[in-house]
Chains A and B, each alone.
Chain A
Amino acid sequence: MSAIFKREFRAYFHTPLGYVIIAAVYFFTGYYFYTYNIYGGTTDFMQLFSLLFSVVLFIIPVLTMRLMSEEKKTKTDQLLLTAPVSGAGIVIGKYLSAVCVYIIAIAGTLLAAVIASFYGKVDWPCVTGNFIGLLLLGLAQIAICLFLSSITESQVIAAVLGFAVSLFLRLVDGISYVTGSPLLQKFFGYISFNERYSPFTLGIIELKNIVFFISAAVLFCIFSTAVLERKRWN
């Protein structure tokens, strides 16, 4: 697993992909920090984290699109599947590499909070809650997009599927308002990332929301492993 992690993490920086993703997130973080905090003269980071939610939804499919699909297309998965590494080890190694790049990318928010703390009082519990929320959101979404990457050989299709699913998860609570069925309303409300993420932006860390995001991450990593193993058995 550590071999896969090291290779994938380095691969992000052997190509411009890792730099572009980190730069994009830092750009939006800096832009919102300047617009809302510096220009607005406030140390309230709730707005910045709320806006980053949308940015992250579109950044993560790009971060994960090549992880599994490229291996299938170039047939380098042959090396991995014939090596003494389990399917779960391959998936976790790849997953953790994407998570590490993601953490580097969103770490800019903490940097912004530290800068703001020089000029005023920062509500650190709220910032920490927001950061944990953004991290958990990323953990779940990376796992979902990794799974989408495992079901296709095309990076483009993996990215487009990732965008579509991310957008759906962003808008699903809107669907819950227009549907007549209380059961569907409850279901869509339950799976809505927006509903789960919102309490974090207020600095409220609820166990059920933490469990939700971590469960989604574990479930989709298991799905990705199943897709990988299916190839071996079919």
Chain B
Amino acid sequence: MLEVRNLVKKYGDKTAINGLDFTVESGEIVGLLGLNGAGKSTTMNCITGYLAPTEGTVAVDGFDLVKEPDKAKKLIGYLPEVFSYYSDMKIDEYLNFVCDLKGFTKNRKERKQHIENVCRKVGIGEISGRMIRNLSKGYKQRVGFAQALIGNPRVLILDEPTVGLDPSQIIEIRQLIRDSGKESTVIVSSHILSEIQSICSRIIVIHDGKIAADGTPEQLTGAAVNLGELTISVRSGNSETEKVLENLSCISVFSQLPDPEEGTVKYLLKGNGDRDIREEVFRTFAAAGIPLLQMSLKETSLENTFLHLTGQDSRTEHFGSVEPAAEHGGKI
């Protein structure tokens, strides 16, 4: 449905995106993730035809966006990050204008029906006669969503669709995106990782204008699981546990974590490299006769993956928000 090949966009000497290559199939909801300035909006602007690429091609359903812009753009619905509207227009007038722009049917009855359907879908059916400038931010965003849905586009591009909305509006817009994904291919960018994770079937992480990762949320979080980091909880004292840990050749560092349960201690273990150390830890504690109550791999969230992929994890670790604070520990 959407093919992006070797996409490059330069602003003077600065390269905003550098050789992006990806294909989005029908029915996929793809999330674009990236830090500010990573190239997400530039990518979206190139895909919608707002900007022409310096190199490479974008094709929508086989129509090249530069060679056949009219055919390609007819298939795209776009909600920009900041939805801009004509302050002198009412909602229905504006949506009629968008129908005209997209060359959607001139049949009055059919057009009226389409606009009513779109308005109902985004929840502005009751207020379609109001001036857009008098609406709240949430309703304006819905009008923006409605204009993107005009003409039943095959590809829907949404740039930060929930920014500035209150929690209930965010939930509604997310549901709208999910519903739209049943009929269109959706590409959505957002800074809210949980939003991307809950909406998208696939995530593309852009960093420094290049694709840093591309896969399902499960694949991305799974790829970042570090088998060499374990949290264990044992029914024993500090000294006995640390004695066992010091004799474990497969771990390089351990540190005690706070444990609210009386008579138990909790430790974070780091192995030598990424190999799985769970079995060796289990056998060693069993041989020492110390009950191992709990053992878990370090939890990997999309946030951790994102920080790791964009090279921000070391900085975050430095500030202590990723690693739990250690009480004391040792090195073998």
How far, in angstroms, from A11 to B80 measured CA to CA in the complex?
23
What is the CA–CA distance of A78 and B157 in the complex, to the nearest angstrom?
Answer: 13
Interface positions of A from 1 to 36, Cβ below 8 Å from B: 2-4, 6-7, 11, 14-15
Q: Determine if B86 and A11 form an interchain contact, defined as CB atoms under 8 angstroms apart.
A: yes
Q: How far is the CA of A2 from the CA of B103 in the complex (A)?
A: 10
Distance in Å from the Cβ of A127 to the closest Cβ of chain B? Answer: 36
Task: State whether B103 touches A84 (Cβ < 8 A).
Answer: yes
Q: Which residue of B lies closest to A3 (CB)?
A: B100
- Report A21 CB to chain B, min CB distance, Å: 16
> Which B residues lie within 8 Å of A80 (CB)?
101
A232 to chain B, nearest CB (A): 5
CB of A234 within 8 A of CB of B11, answer yes
Partner of A83, one of B80, B82, B86, B102: B102
List residues of chain A with CB within 8 A of the CB of B102. 83-84
Say whether B80 contacts A75, CB under 8 Å. yes
A84 is contacted by which of B51, B52, B73, B89 (Cβ under 8 Å)? B73
Given A14-B89, A81-B50, A82-B78, verify A74-B11 contact (CB < 8 Å).
Answer: no
Contact with A along B83-97 (1 / 0, CB 8 A): 011111100000001
Using Cβ atoms and an 8 Å threshold, which residues of chain A touch B55? none
> Digit string of A36-80 for contact with B (CB within 8 Å is 1, else 0)?
000000000000000000000000000000000000001110111
- Inside 8 A of A11's CB, which chain B residues have their CB? 86, 88
Q: Which of A188-215 contact B (CB under 8 A)?
A: none
The answer to whether residues A84 and B84 also contact, given A3-B97, A232-B52, A234-B11 and a CB cut-off of 8 A, is no
> B76 contacts A82, CB within 8 Å?
yes
Interface residues on B, range: 20 to 34
- Say yes or no: A78 contacts B97, CB within 8 Å: no
On chain B, the residues within 8 Å of A171 by CB distance are: none
Residue A233, interface by CB 8 Å: yes
Interface range on chain A: under 10, 10 to 19, 20 to 34, or 35 or more?
20 to 34
A179 interface hit (Cβ, 8 Å): no
- Which residues of A are found within 8 Å of B84, using beta-carbon distances? 74-76, 78-79
Q: Decide if B101 touches A79 in the complex (CB within 8 Å).
A: yes
Cα A142 to Cα B330 with chains together (Å): 80
Tell yes or no: B42 within 8 A of A by CB.
no
Residues of B within 8 A of A85 (CB): 70, 101
Chain A residues near B100: list those with CB within 8 A.
Answer: 2-3, 6-7
B70 partner residues in chain A, CB cutoff 8 A: 84-86
- Whether A14 and B88, one on each chain, are in contact in the complex, defined by CB atoms closer than 8 angstroms, is yes
Interface residues of A in 86-101 (CB under 8 A from B): 86
**In the assembled complex, which residues on chain A have CB atoms less than 8 Å from the CB atom of B80?**
75, 78
CA A81 – CA B73 in complex, angstroms? 10
Instruction: Please name all residues of chain B whose beta carbon is closer than 8 Å to the beta carbon of A86 when the two chains form the complex.
Output: 69-70
Measured in the bound complex, the distance between the Cα atoms of B89 and A185 in whole Å is 50
CA distance A207 to B52 in the complex (A): 41
CA distance A90 to B73 in the complex (A): 15
B97 touches A7 (CB 8 A): yes
State how many angstroms separate the Cβ of A80 from the closest Cβ of chain B: 7
Least CB distance from A228 to B in Å reads: 12
* A2 cross-chain contacts in B, Cβ below 8 A: 100
Interface-centre pick from A15, A80, A81, A83 (highest chain B CB count, 10 A): A83
Measured CB to CB, the nearest residue on chain B to A74 is: B84
Complex Cα distance A76/B11, Å?
22
**Contact between A232 and B11 (Cβ–Cβ < 8 Å)?**
no
CB contacts (< 8 Å) of B231 on chain A: these are none
Q: Which of B71, B73, B87 contacts A82 (CB 8 A)?
A: B73
Residues on B with C-beta less than 8 A from A76 are 84-86
Q: Which residues of A contact B49 (CB under 8 A)?
A: 81-82, 232
Residue of A nearest to B47 (CB): A82
Q: Top 5 closest A-B pairs, CB basis?
A: A3-B100, A14-B88, A75-B84, A84-B70, A83-B101
- Please give 4 more A-B residue pairs, beta carbons under 8 A apart, in addition to A78-B78, A79-B101: A6-B97, A75-B80, A80-B101, A81-B49
List 25 interface pairs A-B (beta carbons < 8 Å), by A numbering.
Answer: A2-B100, A6-B100, A7-B86, A7-B100, A14-B88, A14-B89, A74-B87, A75-B82, A76-B84, A78-B50, A78-B78, A81-B49, A82-B48, A82-B49, A82-B78, A83-B73, A83-B101, A83-B102, A84-B69, A84-B74, A84-B102, A84-B103, A232-B50, A232-B52, A234-B11
